[in-house]
Structure 1
């Protein structure tokens, strides 16, 4: 279930992908409707899982982890232990030691709705065919912060305590602000090309998209110089310096014609051309 989030760039891209996905929009909207009556005070839920030892070794206190899909949990630790395959009498896991390839983990998740107002979750026990499981469901892309990790040597079970994180909510605000700021300088289609050439680092796709934009815009399009500029940057990242220099020159000539020489965009183009 874990997904480290180590850089702001990766986080921003992850957020954009989650928010664009049709399943996110449809299913999280349904979950939001169910969650309207969700408990408002702090509570704990549990999730049992069998995971590879390599994944456990990556865990550390303070690490941000996220769900790859909807995440099921239970208000009952006994239910979570049952699902993770512990012996119902002894509480022992099938694992013999910490060196086994497969390890058994009981996640204890502390949720404080006042601290994580953007957290998408719902108690779905009333909608479930098995209400005794006391299921609480978290939405796509929910993130948590690891607070404590310990191993129960007697039962060979890992205990990982986590809290809900408002990281995705903060990233959504950051992403929205980033887009709104970009729209002050570019139209939406050009801004998408900027994203491809910068944040996503998907350079082949960026080149195809930007070249397509060039073919479909008029010669006097106010964003032509920007397309040249970002094409130049992509070619430079790919090590195709002749292509990069050519497009930087085109961007420079257009910006020199339309912008004052004291303008930052013109100076930025000259600086990039100089270091290519």
Structure 2
């Protein structure tokens, strides 16, 4: 039932929950009402705008109810989420509507924080704060002077664009704990709240560094010495900003989230599209599909709009964005990728998080990078290096995979100068529960088939770093892992071709089903559908429908697949609607006068589904035949 409710908002009044049902048909609103009333849950009729009510609360309070009843709550646009067959009902909430009210962000009550923590394991990590970059600044105890506060924030955002402010230590702690371990947080805390929060969050992987704006520097420095992540204690705010900026220039190079996907060569392991090997096959298939998917200005404009929204209020980044729009050219793509701007930050974050829609919007630039790497492909074997801080668990997983394969989930930046990589290693005493790792990679261009690599020193913004860049999706074999005399783990890997791993037959078969040549939005939808990402698949099928002319034969596939996906999700009314659209399209195509003048044969193959429409004229009579629908 609730999967049909596009929007649900909540308000907390005393100990009562109030729900608002908006943009919901009367049929489903009535069903929702019948469920809410027996549970003594109040609601606001859809005709009333809850944004007029003070202290509107986000949907978090609904979590505990759902968890106890084996429901799943999902944030964000409905199209963004995969169908989950392990739960009875999925509730989808478009959080962008909530964010329209500043009160929704500011007024988090204690009961909602507890509900959030209660449902954390079941419901996954927080996703109501979906920024595009992996680094964020968390500011606890901002200055009460609003004007001064805004000026400080402006300065901070010149280093790290995304800034989240808190006044309450518990609320801040909850936010940090729910942040993905793959994200990186830099914390700025006033000295009044530092002792309250630092001990409880210091050990978290996502916490990169902590800085204290102190009124009693000597006293705060004494107790803070036991916390290695505490990088600075300063009275002057400008001094803190300078230190954060200096530290971050190195942090962003060595504190990348783990950039590899592991897969195994165990017999028959590749036959499943789930699990580790399934993820590998899917990522390779997705890259292949996106590289062959034609792009248009509408997609580029949508991407630019995302950047503008992300950088709102950050004039430095907005100026860079406008310069990018004005000066970008395909032959300069690697220069833009290597300079310190939104382009590098957001692209890598999207790739590592597997944010498929951002990858889709970014595909024209990914294609440009592919062609540049292909054009400047290294002609002789190289030995390159990359430094990485890694958790003990991450290192352990690699140690168990010696002789196995890994693929990179982003463009892989390396250097052919070992001393440059070692320069970023830093002091061992400054690391907390992290191991220093040096990747030593041997790459022979003879094995390159579809994933090029190149020395981009002459094309890079930083020519002195001797950078060698590997294509997104490159595959490597782990040869050995040893610990040297400097207590650095050295992981030797070698670049592999597409035909060297045991999943080549599975991957090859799936690529053949996609077909050669240019792919379409229907192709992308099918890839996502195959991998069980039903709602995301529907998003691109629907996008395809909107972009096609009303008699385009590709609509036959789109309508049919949309009907089948809806059926698999038990959304039968939606399935019937798409089936009706399909029937109407067939009738329209059969009655089209154009078919009376010539023979048209349209064959579309994808996976196990085949659609063939043959229309031809004979002796003045029109004979129309539909096959396999």
Q: CA deviation at 1:94?
A: 3.9
Q: 1:13 aligns with which of 286, 298, 301?
A: 286
- Please state whether the residue corresponding to 1:167 is helix, strand or coil: coil
Does structure 1 residue 209 correspond to structure 2 residue 543?
A: yes
Does structure 1 residue 109 correspond to structure 2 residue 382?
A: no
- Describe the superposition over 1:150-191 as per-residue Cα deviations: whole angstroms up to 9, x where unpaired: 2417532212111113339989987875444698xxx95655
Listed as ranges, the matches of 1:106-185 within 5 Å are: 106-124=438-456, 131=464, 135-152=466-483, 154-167=485-498, 177-180=512-515
Instruction: Give the 3 Å change call, closer, same or farther, for CA 188–242 of structure 1 in structure 2.
Output: same
Q: How many residues matched?
A: 244
Instruction: Give the 3 Å change call, closer, same or farther, for CA 26–10 of structure 1 in structure 2.
Output: closer
- Describe the superposition over 1:194-235 as per-residue Cα deviations: whole angstroms up to 9, x where unpaired: 456546641441463365368x514xx645543332111120
Instruction: Give the 3 Å change call, closer, same or farther, for CA 54–11 of structure 1 in structure 2.
Output: same
Instruction: Give the 3 Å change call, closer, same or farther, for CA 46–222 of structure 1 in structure 2.
Output: closer
Name whichever of 152-161 and 241-250 sits farther off. Answer: 241-250
Instruction: Give the 3 Å change call, closer, same or farther, for CA 143–120 of structure 1 in structure 2.
Output: same
Give the corresponding residue for 1:25: 367
Give the corresponding residue for 2:126: none
Q: CA deviation at 1:251?
A: 5.3
Q: Distance in 2 between matches of 1:130 and 1:188?
A: 38
**Which runs of no fewer than 5 residues in structure 2 stay unpaired?**
1-257, 263-276, 294-362, 591-608, 612-625
- Describe the superposition over 1:58-88 as per-residue Cα deviations: whole angstroms up to 9, x where unpaired: 32231322152351222x43332222226xx
Give the corresponding residue for 2:397: 58
Q: CA deviation at 1:113?
A: 1.8
Give the corresponding residue for 1:228: 559
Contact kept, 8 Å, 1:110 with 1:162, in 2: the verdict is yes
Q: Distance in 2 between matches of 1:222 and 1:19?
A: 20
- Please state whether the residue corresponding to 1:110 is helix, strand or coil: strand
Q: Distance in 1 between matches of 2:516 and 2:291?
A: 21
**TM-score where L is the length of structure 1:** 0.65
Give the corresponding residue for 1:47: 386
Give the corresponding residue for 2:421: 80
- Please state whether the residue corresponding to 1:217 is helix, strand or coil: coil
Contact kept, 8 Å, 2:479 with 2:494, in 1: the verdict is no
Give the corresponding residue for 1:89: none
Q: Distance in 1 between matches of 2:555 and 2:371?
A: 39
**TM-score where L is the length of structure 2:** 0.32
Instruction: Give the 3 Å change call, closer, same or farther, for CA 153–51 of structure 1 in structure 2.
Output: same
- Describe the superposition over 1:18-73 as per-residue Cα deviations: whole angstroms up to 9, x where unpaired: 666222233343444444xx342x34222222233343233223132215235122
Q: Distance in 2 between matches of 1:155 and 1:15?
A: 41
Contact kept, 8 Å, 1:144 with 1:162, in 2: the verdict is no
- Please state whether the residue corresponding to 1:107 is helix, strand or coil: strand
- Please state whether the residue corresponding to 1:114 is helix, strand or coil: helix
Q: Distance in 1 between matches of 2:463 and 2:540?
A: 48
Give the corresponding residue for 1:2: 259
Instruction: Give the 3 Å change call, closer, same or farther, for CA 188–206 of structure 1 in structure 2.
Output: closer
**Which runs of no fewer than 5 residues in structure 1 stay unpaired?**
87-92, 270-276
Give the corresponding residue for 2:148: none
Contact kept, 8 Å, 1:197 with 1:230, in 2: the verdict is no
**RMSD value, Cα:** 4.5
- Please state whether the residue corresponding to 2:260 is helix, strand or coil: coil
Q: Distance in 1 between matches of 2:558 and 2:470?
A: 37
